[in-house]
């Protein structure tokens, strides 16, 4: 059984005066639940997990699980390049009620493909909740090869992959090699439909932070056989999606949420606020999308 089907938001972590803004976080969670977001991923890349302390990560994960209260799955980002620390964080998240874990490949120290298997198996052996592999070589410098995914999928707790390689041929090979029941989620918002067409179950999304209902709709339309409508919505959203990556994620998406009045947009160094020119580009892309959808800006 899939952890979720549809759109999971890779949720931002709002800050105020360099502290986690839990009031804003609670409002974001409730907004996503109202807007039909199918699952919430917390403490991932978009959540600036790299600059959260271990205690902050634990607090944010626990807070999110408590506020969601079982209404949708909560997936905790507990990966990293320190295997034992990833085990500890995964055990903590399981213990407080996380529905699943998102485990990014080790970065900087990297490893071999054999090392990846050892790393993921060491974590999977210690927990009893599902694991989603997270492949994002543009961030980590390390790609999980399809044959490695096939081997990892033999572990009962490793049940899915978030594929953000951008390589549709690789994603197709993963789909071909892995057993039925091993789920693929798009890690790129501009490739939701292509991944669904290869048997994917949904997306773990950045754009869902600002367009939660529309991202959910792309998946729902596709699964209901309304392929043309899903395609149109995917393409209509493309300029907004591209604008969200005009600078390093989550710089633009936090700026967009600030423009929308959802958070104050604060980031933690080394991330800095979006440039004025890119902020204008972002505003224009959102305005144009809203007009195309018949929504007042």
What does the block give as tokens for 195?
Answer: 């991944």
**Residues belonging to the chain:** 297
Per DSSP, the three-state class of 100 is: strand
Q: Compute the half-sphere exposure of residue 113: CA atoms within 13 Å on the CB side of its CA.
A: 10
What does the block give as tokens for 245?
Answer: 């990556």
> Which alpha helices (DSSP H) does the chain contain, by range?
22-34, 54-68, 83-95, 113-124, 137-140, 146-152, 168-177, 192-197, 212-223, 227-236, 238-243, 251-259, 276-292
Quick check: is 120 catalytic?
no
First CA to last CA distance, the chain: 40
Q: Give CA 246 to chain center in angstroms.
A: 18
Q: At 59, phi and psi to the nearest 5?
A: -65, -45
Selecting among 134, 222, 254, 262, the annotated active-site residue is 134
Q: Compute the half-sphere exposure of residue 125: CA atoms within 13 Å on the CB side of its CA.
A: 8
List, for residues 89-140, the tens digit of each pLDDT value.
999 999 999 999 999 999 999 999 999 999 999 999 999 999 999 999 999 9
Is 60 exceeded by the pLDDT of residue 297?
A: no
Is 60 exceeded by the pLDDT of residue 70?
A: yes
Q: pLDDT tier at 214 (50, 70, 90 boundaries)?
A: very high
List the single range of 35-49, 151-165, 260-274, 282-296 with lowest mean pLDDT. Answer: 282-296
| Mean pLDDT score, 60-82 | 98
Q: pLDDT tier at 71 (50, 70, 90 boundaries)?
A: very high
List, for residues 168-205, the tens digit of each pLDDT value.
999 999 999 999 999 999 999 999 999 999 999 999 99
Quick check: is 262 catalytic?
no
Give the closest residue to 250 by CA, choosing from 215, 274, 231, 283: 274
What does the block give as tokens for 168?
Answer: 């549709």
Q: pLDDT tier at 292 (50, 70, 90 boundaries)?
A: confident
Which superfamily is assigned to 6-224 in CATH? Aldolase class I (3.20.20.70)
Q: Where are the domains of the chain?
A: 6-224
Contacts (Cβ under 8 Å, ≥6 apart) of 133: 103, 105, 120, 144, 149, 152, 158, 160, 161, 162
Cis peptide before 282 (omega within 30 of 0): no
Selecting among 58, 162, 254, 262, the annotated active-site residue is 162
Is 80 exceeded by the pLDDT of residue 16?
A: yes
Q: Compute the half-sphere exposure of residue 192: CA atoms within 13 Å on the CB side of its CA.
A: 34
| Mean pLDDT score, 211-234 | 98
Average predicted confidence (pLDDT) for the chain: 97
């Amino acid at each position: 059984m899939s952890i979720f089907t549809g759109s999971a938001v890779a949720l931002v972590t709002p800050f105020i005066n360099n502290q986690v803004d839990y009031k804003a976080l609670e409002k974001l969670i409730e907004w996503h639940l109202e807007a039909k977001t199918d699952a919430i991923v917390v403490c991932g890349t978009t959540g600036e997990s790299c600059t959260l302390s271990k205690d902050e990560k634990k607090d944010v994960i626990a807070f999110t699980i408590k506020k969601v209260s079982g209404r949708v799955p909560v997936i905790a980002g507990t990966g990293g390049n320190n295997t034992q620390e990833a085990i500890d964080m995964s055990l903590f998240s399981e213990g407080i009620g996380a529905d699943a874990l998102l485990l990014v490949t080790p970065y900087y120290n990297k490893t071999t493909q054999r090392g990846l298997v050892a790393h993921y198996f060491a974590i999977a052996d210690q927990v009893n909740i599902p694991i989603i592999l997270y492949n994002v070589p543009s961030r980590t410098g390390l790609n999980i090869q399809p044959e490695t995914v096939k081997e990892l999928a033999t572990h009962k707790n490793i049940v899915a992959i978030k594929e953000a390689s951008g390589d549709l041929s690789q994603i197709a090979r993963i789909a071909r090699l892995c057993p039925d029941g091993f789920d693929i989620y798009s890690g790129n918002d501009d490739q939701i439909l292509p991944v669904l067409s290869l048997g994917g179950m949904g997306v773990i999304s950045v754009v869902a932070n600002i367009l939660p209902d529309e991202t959910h709709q792309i998946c729902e339309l596709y699964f209901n056989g309304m392929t043309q409508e899903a395609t149109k919505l995917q393409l209509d959203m493309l300029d907004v999606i591209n604008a969200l990556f005009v600078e390093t994620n989550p710089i633009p998406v936090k700026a967009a949420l600030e423009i929308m009045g959802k958070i104050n947009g604060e980031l933690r160094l080394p991330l800095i606020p979006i440039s004025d020119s890119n902020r204008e580009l972002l505003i224009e892309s959102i305005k144009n999308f809203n007009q195309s959808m018949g929504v007042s800006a």
